Amino acid sequence: MATTVEPFDTVDLIRVKRGSGELSTAQIDWLIDAYTRGYVADEQMSALTMAIFLNGMDRREIRDMTMAMIRSGETMDFTGLGKTTVDKHSTGGVGDKITLPLAPLVASFGVAVPQLSGRGLGHTGGTLDKLESIPGWQASISNDRMREIMADSGAVVCAAGSGLAPADGKLYALRDITGTVEAIPLIASSIMSKKIAEGTAALVLDVKFGSGAFIQDIDQSRLLARTMVDLGTDAGVATTALLTDMNVPLGLTIGNALEVRESVETLAGGGPADIRELTVALAREMLASAGLPDADVEAALDDGRAMDAWKRMIRAQGGDPDAALPTARETHVVTAERSGFVTEQHALPFGIAAWRLGAGRARKQDPVQAAAGIELHAKPGDSVVEGQPLFTLHTDEPDRFARALEAVDGGWAIGDEAPAARRIVAERIS
């Protein structure tokens, strides 16, 4: 029986990137295909991803890798839907619940939002985990059902099917255990391969920086945003990005059901100021990409249109938007030891604490507690008096409190003067 002769040698490709060389389009196409079908071993791909982490890739190489990962699976097509499609992607953060009010808000203007989302891992929460705290809501739906909901309700938030960019799923799992997750060419191609394969006409990226972000340095976050905008543009997807601050948790809640509750408050015209500010900024960006630059998004939050779209979106996937959300069996309140102003509230410690309370998972297969998390009673700039509650820990298992408190130790401070006001949106990249 004849053996297929492969056109390239994996070791040669490793040597090229190890020496800061460029891989050709043909080499990248072969590499992704050969890895997907199991010819390239995990050990070899690990060496190659580390070489990419250390030496980078140029724009053409990143584009070639992205397109090769798209070709590894199916693509979606929403032409003929009768609506403009626009999606949003966030690189993740602590208390980042923005997708929940944003998708129905944008859909309330007649725009379709095909939001393929993921689950949380580590200190960053997952959109699907949050929505699954709503009784009856289902994350997994067929492509046909997704199209039906978009035609009717406008917004869909669901899990990506296994057939969408399967090379990315395999490569991400490898990067997760080899210390190469932060490689910008690999992050960019991972995110954009799924978003381009999804078939959206326009895409808005929310790229975080700061202590609770995936990439903490603003210059590196800017580079990631620019790389992804270039990838989308090269693929014919109208793509823009906002660089947003993740040094402080977003909103006043961290955790699944807690964040859903806060999102509903925002859809009712209330909610914390920073959640409303970022939701409105991203909605304006998305609607401008869809040809509606003058849409009054704040009015849609205040007059009930966004809430109506939320209820339609939740019901379309089996959820009951009016059902009571889970509440934790145990709580622990941390109070201010002195009077003054909250001057610091670092996102990462609070994200880790919520994770330890049960709101997140250490492994993809781990369950999460729907009601676990943290409720913040004050944010930087707020005045407090001695003994006033600063935040409340929520969990079903009281033995989790000790390690959560260890995580937040030193994560906040109270001083005599209020800190300078923060800007949530630092830059726009187009």
pLDDT digits (tens, 9 = 90+) for 311-330: 999 999 999 999 999 999 99
Q: Is the pLDDT of residue 121 over 70?
A: no
Mean pLDDT of 245-264: 97
pLDDT digits (tens, 9 = 90+) for 336-353: 999 999 999 999 999 999
Handedness of CA 101, 107, 111, 113 (dihedral sign): positive
86-316 belongs to which CATH class?
A: alpha beta
Give pLDDT, residue 205.
98
Backbone φ and ψ of 26, nearest 5°:
-65, -40
Of 4 and 327, the one with more pLDDT: 327
For residue 114, the model assigns a pLDDT of 94
Nearest partner of 208 among 175, 255, 254, 247, judged by Cα: 247
Distance of alpha carbon 51 from alpha carbon 49, whole angstroms:
5
CA distance 338 to 318: 47
How far, in Å, CA of 222 to CA of 243, rounded? Answer: 7
**Every domain of the chain and the residues it spans:** 10-56, 86-316, 330-415
pLDDT above 90 as % of the chain: 84
> Are 367 and 361 contacting, i.e. CB atoms less than 8 angstroms apart?
yes
Residue 123 pLDDT greater than 80, yes or no: no
pLDDT score recorded for residue 2:
53
Just give the CATH number of 330-415. Answer: 3.90.1170.30
Which residue type does 68 have? Answer: A
How do residues 42-73 score in pLDDT, each as one tens digit? 999 999 999 999 999 999 999 999 999 999 99
Using N-to-C axis directions, what is the helix angle for 99-107 and 273-289, rounded to 10°? 40
Instruction: Enumerate residues 6+ apart whose C-beta is below 8 A from 242.
Output: 204, 205, 206, 207, 281, 282, 285, 425, 427, 428, 429
Average pLDDT value over all residues in the chain: 94
Structure token digits, residue 267: 């859809």
Helix (H) / strand (E) element for 204: namely strand 202-209
Measured CA angle at 149 (ends 145, 150), to 5 deg: 115
Instruction: Give which of 63, 69, 66, 62 is closest to 17, Cα–Cα.
Output: 62
Q: What are phi and psi of 16, to 5 degrees?
A: -60, -50
What letters, b where the CB count within 10 A reaches 16 and e where it falls short, cover 90-115? bbbbbbbbbbbbbbbbbbbbebbbbb
pLDDT value at 1 more than 60: no
**347-367 mean pLDDT:** 87
Q: Which of 425, 259, 429, 247 is nearest to 349 (CA)?
A: 247
pLDDT value at residue 273: 96
Which residue reads 């499609």 in tokens? 85
Residue 354 has pLDDT above 90, yes or no: yes
Q: What is the pLDDT of residue 218?
A: 95
Q: Whose CA is closest to 85, among 107, 106, 109, 111?
A: 111
**Tokens standing for 365?**
């297969």
DSSP element (H, E) containing 254: strand 253-254
Task: Kindly report which listed range (6-20, 148-162, 356-370, 416-430) carries the lowest average pLDDT score.
Answer: 356-370
Closest among 257, 247, 221, 425 to 351, alpha carbons compared: 247
Provide the CB-side half-sphere exposure for 264 (13 A, CA).
18
- What SS3 class is residue 390? strand
> If you average pLDDT over residues 140-153, what whole number do you get?
92
User: Which helix (H) or strand (E) element contains residue 297?
Assistant: helix 297-302
Helix (H, G, I), strand (E, B) or coil at 288: helix
Q: Is a pLDDT exceeding 90 seen at residue 364?
A: no
Q: Which residues are catalytic?
A: 89, 168, 175, 190, 194
Q: What Cα–Cα distance (Å) separates residue 412 from each residue in 164, 282, 341, 419?
A: 41, 28, 11, 13
End-to-end CA distance of the chain: give it in Å, rounded: 54
Q: Are 326 and 135 in contact (CB under 8 A)?
A: no
pLDDT of 275: 97
Question: Once rounded to an integer, what is the mean pLDDT over residues 360-385?
Answer: 90
Write out pLDDT tens, residues 149-169.
Answer: 999 989 999 988 778 889 988
Three-state DSSP at 332 gives: strand
- For residue 203, pLDDT over 60 is answered with yes
Task: Look at residue 122 and tell me whether its pLDDT is greater than 70.
Answer: no
CATH number, span 10-56: 1.20.970.10
Query: Cα(183)–Cα(175) distance, rounded to whole angstroms?
Result: 9
Which candidate, 190, 241, 181, places its Cα nearest to that of 215? 181
